[in-house]
Chain A
């Protein structure tokens, strides 16, 4: 059974000027197996981020069905969707979105607060993950004291803290220089492989995409 199965998923937005419906995704069919790494590429405005948001339950499709781990997402209420996000999905954004008021460790632990009963070993796991990304000695630092690459590494760890089944990365290295971007892609793939998590990444960089197990291209809302 695939981890994610999208069947004929469509999504439109309203044009602010004319009020007309503008299709963003048109009848997308997609199946992603557990442990896979998938890159989604395409030009700006083609619907990559919309697809990622739908995969991450941050957005709902206008039509079509999404099965996550065999469970139809359409049947879930907002609280249920939030539970799916907290337990099964990890997000990495182009901007790190770290809480400036929290330390590195606290930022990593933030998703555990969403769980009904945070795991007792959450802190140890966070420390272990931070060690894996080379930030063990900066656990008590605030985001403002970190470099751009370091901040994004914290965001990676934050995405993994609840041991999700799926990591969704929206141009995770888009705000970094090439060297840092390459290093972080290595790290991301290493983490993905070591944890066995499924990775779906939206990226503009063909080279980065090619390092994924599968590359999907979206053009004018259609998955090719």
Chain B
């Protein structure tokens, strides 16, 4: 005979006794497997969404504000695409969808879809996806309106960028409504929610946006191929650069840009050519002297010389009767944050006067300013800066007619850059010697010097990013294990209890094996192997159960717990690896639990075991010394409660009260343990008193009953203390920051909505608007890192505001708005990258769960020039409406993204009674910008609903755990009574009626149940006290009350059944057997 033979025979022989172990293991395996499979399924669902949204796209380039040539995409075998944001509405105008994704595509795009189905439609039509079709209520053949902004080559914030609001409206017929498989789900942002998309004919959209031959994105089916070959096909046009031959004083080439200001990264490289020099031409507001003034003139800065001198043209000299040596003042606008313009001035001495036929006096120095260069009359100028048209004289018009933008003055480049350099650049052109090359050859040479990466046109591995994002921001497997922890614990306790019963019954066998020479480890191994055989069977059954559990959980997540999955279409997925891991983990945990639970038994002496089992019956009652521990715990609990009343952070308050309740629970159990171990020494004079003795007879079992009931009720009720509610949303330190409204616009709003100029731009009510305060945020698009996005955000959205405008708003878990206000400075060469990092503030939930980051952690971003920089978290907002975003200062933002113009995210202060009016007014007046506002409290509640859903799941699963624990108690009672059948028989023989004995047993166990419930309810009430004070605070009081009632009722019922079953039959027979 081998040890394994013995083990299998024992397992077979005692299979009935092991049913509890089998059931407990089955349950634990079911829950563990099921939970992990939920995680698998959510991940698989996210991967499915990622696969649908990317189709065959692996890599690509996103130009953002940098539009490059369609040819670059075609030569790279990529699909040229325009990606824009706009608003779509049904032709009747009744329904409008803001933030719609407007895509300019051609056949090469459709080849990249999962189905590769080519959708052909002409310029009069568009294709829309199913979500947009549903929202607009339109179908194929209907007409829709799409509004989007015409892109500007230059940032709309830049001085001289022209007019701001240049919208394009497309009225098109819906050619088809496409499914997700046909690329209806296409989007590059990691989100489980499909976008609202309009697909426009590429050529059509290029024409409408006045971007013929240009696109702002390209998509490629092979990232590596794209990365290897993209740069090979670059041309100057891809950098928005123009090459022009200049035949002036000398033959030169001029490189200028449609963006007006040359980007610094490009200017630095181009300026390195031999003989190259920079030019900066600026529209000044006026040139004045003692003799008079000349409005709106171009001044060019170039070359070297004295920085306080100016060379003027004869026309200007004549206009103001200026002579060499005279002093004049130049007035000009400088750009601040956003479109803030400040007029400044500088004084110069006239160094020379150039005749109008001098070769240097030419309009070639002046770049093409939008709204200026392309108009016939000065009075038609729309340069994007405030102009006093009355100041323009007839002679100025004549000058414009004759000389157009010919500069009226020349200063040194150093002087010009000192005055007019801004975040968009410090040169408007670079000139190079013309050595007789053809324009094509020269352009090639120049293009070779540049890299697309210099302007941020870097191939991105979308597939890799999607894979990383699809790993999920929330590990649903871990989450469900966490939420089911009490249920798993209850199953393990159940299994361990019943295993122990079997073990106790067979204690003599352990004694015998020890007596015949088995070592303790051998005996223990044999037992655990026997348990292992049962556990393996339980685990195998549990794996099947786990699959059903997963199906049920997925159903729950799709039906009643949708808050947790936020619209993700869930699919079931099970991998062998997960199932194997879950099964193995269950087996290990069960065996460890059994090993731990039985540790005392295996330490007993063989003689004691042979003498007839063991129990803490054998332990003598002690004269327990008074212990201070319960009092100390109660004291600490009291301190926590007092601190909890002082602290303001709701989660900290919940934590304090939860901790305090937990400590009181432990203190209560310790006190009960003391009572049970205490020998009263009094004489038991009634059956009831004898019953009470039975409670204290096996203190461990009695405490297990009370602890399981109290612990279960405490956990299930107290975890609800972490339910969040928006609370007083008008308070500045609340999650809304006290702001009444929050919203986004589809198109940027460039104007300041707090001043009259902004009100005038949108026709806003000048009586209503002073009652409101708008805090605008610049936005750099990225992944939503809020709890509403199940994907793990790779590059969270960056938003930027002036920290001063947010002072004293929101509650911080760490840091403050002031942390954003550190003055930015150029880093010293010796400084590490971390020191250069830009300070950022994030919502605590975003940082912890969405990004897995904390204070001091950094994230890499790329600026508009393609350089990597770091954003460092310096503060965390507590439960705020700003979830999902990284907030940095506007100043830092503009230093990295000078071209991102306007504001797209808004927090609005308004009196509660005016909030609705302000919201309706702004939404209506800024309809063209696609502004959508909602009450901040509503947005906050949406975020909080995710956490509350998790708590809801825990409550249900924990409730099941408590009920299971109660069933376990029933088994425990039955077992206890069965063990006592001999003594019960004796009592019957002594004349006690069976009914009286039954009442005694029922009474003693009911006391345990009631004690457990009372302890649980008291401690749980303590934990949820803040919520109770807050009139419920979202507590499901009804459900919790019902749960406690059900637990008590079920417990008593189980107790009654257990007693009745165990006391059935002739008790006196038990004496004979003994």
Contacts and interface: CB of A to CB of B under 8 A. Distances in A.
Interface of A: 16-17, 49, 53, 56, 58-59, 78-79, 82-87, 89-91, 93, 95, 97, 99-102, 105-106, 109-115, 158, 162
Contacts of A111: 516-517
Contacts of B508: 95, 97
A58 B517 contact: no
B522 interface: yes
Contacts of B517: 82-87, 89, 111, 114-115, 162
Contact of B6 (A56, A113, A162): A113
Interface of B: 1-3, 5-6, 9-10, 12-14, 508-509, 511-520, 522, 605-607, 610, 620
A86 B518 contact: yes
Nearest to B623: A19
A109 B513 CA distance: 12
Contact of A101 (B12, B605, B607): B12
A99 B516 contact: no
B6 A110 contact: yes
6 contacts: A58-B606, A91-B515, A97-B610, A101-B13, A114-B517, A114-B519
Nearest to A18: B620
- Tell me what chain B mostly uses at the interface: helix, strand, loop, or mixed: helix
B516 A56 contact: no
**Which 9 pairs between the two chains have the least Cβ-Cβ distance?**
A86-B517, A101-B13, A16-B620, A114-B517, A85-B517, A111-B516, A97-B512, A82-B519, A114-B518
A54 to B, nearest CB: 10
Nearest to A85: B517
Contacts of B605: 58-59
Report which residue of A17, A85, A90 has the largest number of chain B beta carbons within 10 angstroms of its beta carbon: A85
Contacts of B518: 82, 86, 113-114
Contacts of B3: 113
A110 B9 contact: no
A86 B6 contact: no
Contacts of B519: 78-79, 82, 114
Given A53-B607, A59-B605, A113 B514 contact: no
Contacts of A84: 517
Nearest to B508: A97
Contacts of B514: 58, 82, 85
A49 B607 CA distance: 9
Contacts of A109: 1
B1 A113 contact: yes
B516 A110 contact: yes
A132 to B, nearest CB: 20
A113 to B, nearest CB: 6
Given A101-B12, A113-B6, A93 B610 contact: yes
B877 to A, nearest CB: 60
A144 to B, nearest CB: 10
A155 B425 CA distance: 101
Contacts, number: 85
A216 to B, nearest CB: 20
Contacts of A112: 1
B607 A58 contact: yes
A124 B508 CA distance: 28
A90 B512 CA distance: 11
A189 B765 CA distance: 118
Contact of A59 (B509, B511, B520, B607): B607
Nearest to A114: B517
B516 A101 contact: no
A102 B610 contact: no
A112 B508 CA distance: 19
B748 to A, nearest CB: 80
A89 B518 CA distance: 12
A58 B515 contact: yes
Contacts of A110: 1, 6, 512-513, 516
Contacts of A102: 1, 6, 9
Contacts of A100: 13
Contacts of A53: 607
A106 B9 contact: yes
B474 to A, nearest CB: 49
Nearest to B9: A101
A106 B516 contact: no
Report which residue of A83, A87, A93, A113 has the largest number of chain B beta carbons within 10 angstroms of its beta carbon: A113
Report which residue of B5, B511, B518 has the largest number of chain A beta carbons within 10 angstroms of its beta carbon: B518
B671 to A, nearest CB: 24
Report which residue of B9, B14, B517, B610 has the largest number of chain A beta carbons within 10 angstroms of its beta carbon: B517
A93 B520 CA distance: 20
Nearest to A54: B607
Contacts of B515: 56, 58, 85, 91, 93
B610 A106 contact: no
Contacts of B13: 100-101
B39 to A, nearest CB: 41
Nearest to A110: B516
A115 B3 CA distance: 11
Nearest to B3: A113
A65 to B, nearest CB: 21
A83 B514 CA distance: 10
Nearest to B7: A101
B6 A91 contact: no
A114 B620 contact: no
A48 to B, nearest CB: 13
B705 to A, nearest CB: 25
B501 to A, nearest CB: 17
B343 to A, nearest CB: 95
B682 to A, nearest CB: 16
A83 B606 CA distance: 15
A60 to B, nearest CB: 10
B575 to A, nearest CB: 39
Contact of B5 (A95, A106, A115): A106
B683 to A, nearest CB: 16
A33 to B, nearest CB: 23
Contacts of B14: 101
A162 B517 CA distance: 10
A91 B1 CA distance: 20
A124 to B, nearest CB: 14
A3 B740 CA distance: 96
Given A89-B517, A97-B509, 15 more contacts: A53-B607, A58-B515, A58-B605, A79-B519, A84-B517, A90-B516, A95-B508, A97-B610, A99-B512, A101-B10, A102-B6, A113-B1, A113-B3, A113-B6, A114-B516
Report which residue of B508, B511, B512, B516 has the largest number of chain A beta carbons within 10 angstroms of its beta carbon: B516
A173 to B, nearest CB: 17
A19 B815 CA distance: 61
A102 B520 CA distance: 20
B16 to A, nearest CB: 12
Contacts of A56: 515
A123 to B, nearest CB: 8
Nearest to A115: B517
Contacts of A113: 1-3, 6, 518, 522
Contacts of B1: 102, 105-106, 109-110, 112-113
A17 B3 CA distance: 42
Contacts of B607: 49, 53, 58-59
Nearest to A60: B605
A50 B861 CA distance: 79
Contacts of B10: 99, 101
